[in-house]
A and B are shown apart, each in its own frame.
Chain A
Amino acid sequence: MQPMNSVKLLIIFFFIVFISSSAAHATEYYSFHMAGSDCKMCHDDPASGELNDTGIQFEENGYRFPSTQKETLFYVLSGLVILAVIFGLFRRYRLWSSGKPVKKLERLADRWDGLLVNIFGQDKILKKPLAGNGHLLLVWSFTLLALAVIFILIQEYIVLPLWGARIINNHFYPYFRLLLDISGLTGLIGTVMLAYRRYILKPKELDNKPDDALSLILLIAVFFTGFLTTGVRNQLYQSEWTCWSPVASSLAWVLKLFVKGEGGLQACFNVLWWGHSLIGLIFLACIPYSKLLHAFSSSLNIFYRNLEPKGALPVLDISSSETYGAGKINDFTFKHLLELDACMRCGRCQENCPAYISEKHLNPKSLVQNLKIHMGRPSQGKNAALIGGPVTDDEIWECTTCLNCLEHCPVFIEPMMKIVEMRRNTVLAKSNFPAEFKQIFKNLEIFGDPKGKGKVTREVWVSNLKINRIYQPANDKPDILFWAGCIGATYDERSKNTTNAVARVFEKAGVSFGILGKEELCCGDPARRMGNEYLFQKLATTNIETINKYGVKKLVTHCPHCFNVFKKEYPALGADFEVVDIFEFIKTLLIQGRLEVKSRIEEAFTYHDPCYLGRYNSVYETPRDILKSHIGVNLVEMERAKDTSFCCGAGGGNMWRGVSAGKRMEGLRIQEAVKAQVQGIVTACPHCDIMFDSAIKQEGMGYTFKLVNLIELLKQAVL
């Protein structure tokens, strides 16, 4: 086991204090009243404040309460529960730390900030109103109740013995009661909302297991018996404060209709008290062994969350590491394994995953769950290979790295990262990957582009334009480097036209730009997402050398994949140049008047957000702005737009991998676009262009439904 660092220790300490304090408090609080005591134990007339014999004895001998048999039993039970909880948590912790240690945590302020925002603000969970609000109510009520408990503990064990005073005095106590009563009510409402969603609305993404039912039943039971116990106690001993616990009192009032006399009520109280205590103890004991663990594991995961740029893959140290990626469960890092326990099967990844929607094998939710089950297996089974064990070959190759799973997970779990880690292992260590990829890898290595067209073909798109080639020594140094990309420069006529259009638009606006032409290599994104980190680093370091050689300060590209990898992943390899978002750049040109729209395109189009532009880099509004307010397109949104945008199916190497199962993603997306009642679809990514081109032809709409790149449309408008 790796040594704990201070943060981990602090967090674990906090958990244990929290858990033990709840139990200890319950003991103190209820056993006190159990003996039929309350204020009347020390004061015959609480209003006057005069002490009776017991009171005087307490004052003289200190705060000692004669322990009863029931109390002893309760203490013993609580002790067992605390042990069970500590044991359970420790067991999970040991599973997590069987992974590789994570790097030292940095940016602690951001981490605490995110933790608070996501726990008390429920930032990401609230994207779904019913589930989000239900959970929000539950979290707040539990937090308030826990704080109240801690507060009372501090008072009873620290303040009272040391200073002999109470913070919660008679003056303050009623409000305290009211607050707890309301917390209980909100918690109950929240639980009922969640149960209603799960068992009556039955959303598709939820699968119901006994674990879910147990948690909900325990929650409802804890709240309900808590109310009844308080209510009945009020009826029995504290009639003057009854009105301050409205919910509890009303429930007790209902109960009273069925119970006769003070004796009956006392019997009821005994049953309720034990009921509530036992349910409460069971609840606590269940935490590490059921989904209730997520209160800790998910919070811890939010704290440990990946603060690197969204979707940026970690650099694999090729020369010094002994294992590449994740072949066994222990090859994952602590963080990856913690994520497995943080998953509560809410299914938001599943309902947004294009592979799942297009009926393929991959389901990010079950992938994480299967890995979790595998993690808990005894050590022999654990050392088995992941692929062929808990994960199948198809699953890891069907991922298009669209980032939907990361975007929608409320607790920052990253299934895609795990998939890429597993791909790395199977590609680099075992050379086991879809047969189609071998040629792609070889082409990338030998020719520098996925189709193996060779570097002289990289300048064909330039054709009639006078473009400044950076490598020609006589030319002036341009301000900005325009990166054409493999697809843009070599793939087919459509993509070459689009690249040409970018240059034409820049030329029109008088932008001083240059190209690398023959000296460009693939940016490495396809190789990296397909798991071939070695190839990526080879390509990337060569590209960085070339770019540095010409002293490039700014780079612009119309390919979102290149854009993303330059912006987020090259800096980790030592690149030092600014990467400009092309649409922001064009928008500035339009606003400055360097580009003038001559003919507005008054047609109805829908816009498809490319994954690597939208979700990866949050460029949603600028392209829409250019389309709507500058070019004059009547923009109609599809059902899935912006952060829920669907994938064209090209990412993560799936462009070259034949569809093995299910439907074609690009076909589904085109059907969705057709549903929007528009003349065509606008894309902003050369990969999407290629995929949709074939999909439109396959749907038999080759000449009824338009497919156009945003840049092409802009060229039509400004030239």
Chain B
Amino acid sequence: MKIIVCVKQIGYIYDPTAIDLATGEIDPEKMVYMLNPYDEVAVEEALKIRESNGDCEVIAISAGGQEADNALKYAFAMGADRMVRFNYQSSDPSLISMVLAEAIEKIGYDIVLCGKKSLDSNSGQVGSFLAEKLHIPQISGIVRLNLLFNEKKTVIERYLGKGDREELECNLPVLLTTELALNDPRYPTLSRRLLADKVEIEILDTASFGVNSAKVEGLTEVLKLSQPRPKTRKTFSPDSNLSATDRLKLMMTGGGAKPKEASSVLDGTPDELAGHILKCLIQEKII
């Protein structure tokens, strides 16, 4: 079974003032490069599938310039078997998914895993475009994945928001985009990291596929950038029943954190809990 994981090296902006609104330029000092956390979850899930089923090949693939190698190497260090980079640079999700689809078709696949979105552009479109181009079903934002290996089927849970979840069954091949809650990605071991530096990355480019980006136009266009509304800062407000001096003292010391009182949350088997509630009701003279 071949599991394709699409990964992206992102430039994560940690300071809200990094983008110059007038020019759209980004201050490189306020940005760090890393593997997109959603994709990291996707890699981890692929590795989990391989661990529980065996006989799987996990292929990390990325479209981008040389900088994308770092993301691939990290995925390899985590445990992926192969690294493939499509040498193609674009910020348009439809174009990226087009070249990825070409490459994935060539490699062959059973499951394609993508991050739900990337933390830099936040568009969340590559997965959907890719499924469209591969002509396979897509399930987005999955939080649990159960692969029925022999039946070539997957059972999936996905978020519907407000705590609701939906369980779906789908035949392979399928494209899944991952939510962060899906799993807890592993930290690469040192030997894998060193190996990742030695193993060669398979490079594909437009020439070998006959993809001509000039022929295809991108489907997205950036119209305007704007700063997010600043978050309201939470300030400490002491209990207004206290005297002014006490309030002042509390504010100066950052709040007089008192040791927590014994919790009234009970724990135990249903029988015990029912007993507790009953006792409580009797104590309070409700019954």
CB neighbours of A442 from chain B (8 A): 34, 187
In the complex, are the beta carbons of B187 and A318 less than 8 A apart? Answer: no
When C-beta atoms are compared, the residue in chain B nearest to A698 turns out to be B257
Instruction: Say yes or no: B187 contacts A447, CB within 8 Å.
Output: no
A518 contacts B257, C-beta separation under 8 Å: no
Inter-chain contact B256/A455, CB cutoff 8 Å: no
For residue A429, which residue of chain B has the nearest CB? B189
Question: Are A431 and B188 in touch, CB under 8 angstroms?
Answer: yes
Report the minimum CB–CB distance from A285 to chain B (whole Å): 47
Q: A697-B253, A702-B253 are in contact. Are A456 and B187 (CB under 8 A)?
A: no
Q: In the complex the two chains form, is A431's CB within 8 Å of B253's CB?
A: no
B172 shortest CB reach to chain A, Å: 30
A534 at interface by CB-CB < 8 Å = yes
Residues of A420-448 contacting chain B, CB below 8 A: 428-431, 433, 435, 438, 441-442, 446-447
Do A438 and B258 touch across chains, with their CB atoms under 8 A apart?
Answer: no
- Complex CA gap A319/B14 in Å reads 33
Looking at the assembled complex, report how far the CB atom of A530 sits from the nearest CB atom of chain B, in whole angstroms.
12
Which residues B158-211 have CB closer than 8 A to chain A?
A: 184, 186-191, 193-194
Cβ–Cβ contact B14 & A697, under 8 A: no
CB of B190 within 8 A of CB of A324, answer: yes
Q: Would you call A697 and B32 a contact (CB within 8 A)?
A: no
Q: Roughly how many angstroms separate A534 CA and B196 CA in the complex, as a whole number?
A: 14
> A395 CB to closest chain B CB, in angstroms?
21
Least CB distance, B40 to chain A, in whole angstroms: 10
How far apart sit A518 and B28, CA to CA, in the bound complex (Å)? 12
Cα distance A165–B249 in the bound complex, in angstroms: 91
**Are B14 and A452 interface neighbours, CB within 8 A?**
yes
Q: Is the CB of A435 within 8 A of B184?
A: yes
Which of A435, A453, A457, A697 counts the most B-chain CB atoms under 10 A from its CB? A697
Query: Which of B29, B193, B256 has a CB less than 8 Å from the CB of A700?
Result: B256
Q: Are A318 and B15 interface neighbours, CB within 8 A?
A: no
Q: How far is the CA of A456 from the CA of B28 in the complex (A)?
A: 10
State which of B32, B34, B191 has its C-beta within 8 Å of the C-beta of A454.
B32
Place the interface of chain A in its size category.
Answer: 20 to 34
Q: Does A703 contact B (CB under 8 A)?
A: yes
Residue numbers in A under 8 Å from B258 (CB-CB): 700
Number of A-B contacts (CB under 8 A): 63
With a CB–CB cut-off of 8 A, which chain B residues contact A431? 186-189
Contacts of A698 in B (CB 8 A): 257, 259
Residue in chain B with minimal CB distance to A438: B187
Q: Interface digits, A577-610 against B, CB 8 Å rule (1 contact, 0 not)?
A: 0000000000000000000000000000000000
Let me know if A430 and B14 touch, CB within 8 A: no
CA distance A226 to B111 in the complex (A): 84
Residues of A within 8 A of B255 (CB): 697, 702
Answer whether residue B266 sits at the interface, using C-beta atoms and an 8 A cutoff.
no
Considering only residues 48-91 of chain A, those with a C-beta below 8 Å from chain B are none
B254 within 8 A of A: yes
Q: Which of B33, B186, B189, B259 contacts A428 (CB 8 A)?
A: B189
Q: Mark A441-471, 1 if CB is under 8 A from B, else 0.
A: 1100011000011111100000000000000
With CB as the reference atom, state the residue of chain B lying closest to A696: B253
B252 in the interface (beta carbon within 8 A): yes
Please provide the chain A residues from 694 to 709 with a CB less than 8 Å away from any CB of chain B in the complex. 697-698, 700, 702-703
Q: Would you call B253 and A703 a contact (CB within 8 A)? A: yes
Task: Enumerate chain B residues within 8 angstroms of A697, measured Cβ to Cβ.
Answer: 253-257
**Residues 21-37 (chain B) with a chain A CB within 8 angstroms:** 29-30, 32-34
The answer to whether B252 touches A318 (Cβ under 8 A) is no
CA of A700 to CA of B253 in the docked complex: distance in angstroms? 10
Q: Does the CB pair A454–B190 fall under 8 Å? A: no
Check if B253 sits within 8 Å of A319, measured CB to CB: no
Q: Closest residue to A455 on the B side, CB-wise?
A: B29
Q: CB-CB < 8 A to A454: which residues of B?
A: 14-15, 30, 32
Closest partner residue, chain A, to B257 (CB atom): A697
A697 to B34 alpha-carbon distance, docked (Å): 37
Query: Which of chain B's residues has its CB closest to A534's CB?
Result: B190
14 contacts between A and B (CB under 8 A): A318-B190, A428-B189, A429-B191, A431-B186, A438-B187, A447-B32, A454-B32, A534-B193, A697-B253, A697-B255, A698-B257, A700-B256, A700-B259, A702-B255
**Which residues of B come within 8 Å of A, CB atoms?**
12, 14-15, 29-30, 32-34, 184, 186-191, 193-194, 249-250, 252-259
The 10 A-B pairs with the shortest beta carbon distances in the complex, nearest first, are A702-B253, A428-B190, A454-B14, A431-B187, A703-B253, A697-B257, A703-B249, A431-B189, A446-B32, A446-B34
